Amino acid sequence: MGECGRASGGVRADLLPYQCVFSGPPSEIGFHIPHPLEGSPEIGCWPLAKAGPAVEAYRAVLDRVDAGLRYDLGELIEALDGWASEWHEGEGAWWWAVDGSIFFSITG
């Protein structure tokens, strides 16, 4: 994959957190959720199918990330790892879906 497909540190561009953290609600939701008047969307959505690969990629580059960001990245890794593990272990359960997502709210 060329440089355009990679971000600083070697994480694939499609696994970078900004596109999920500030994504707003998914288009599949059948009703309007307004965005805040100022700033970025407070709602994010992370596809569970990308959570495991993101955890692996972030762990691989954690020692190359700016020291001031390592704690936060570590927290994101642990949260995604927990959700991804539960999703993988739950395959076949009544609640499991191949297109499962993590929804969260970002309130400063």
pLDDT of residue 59: 95
pLDDT at position 8: 58
Per-residue pLDDT of the chain (108 residues; tens, 9 = 90+): 333 344 557 888 888 887 787 777 777 777 777 766 666 667 788 889 999 999 999 999 999 988 998 999 999 999 999 999 998 899 888 988 888 888 877 665
- Helix (H) or strand (E) segment spanning residue 45: strand 43-47
Angle among Cα 79, 83, 85 to the nearest 5 degrees reads 115
The model's pTM is: 0.76
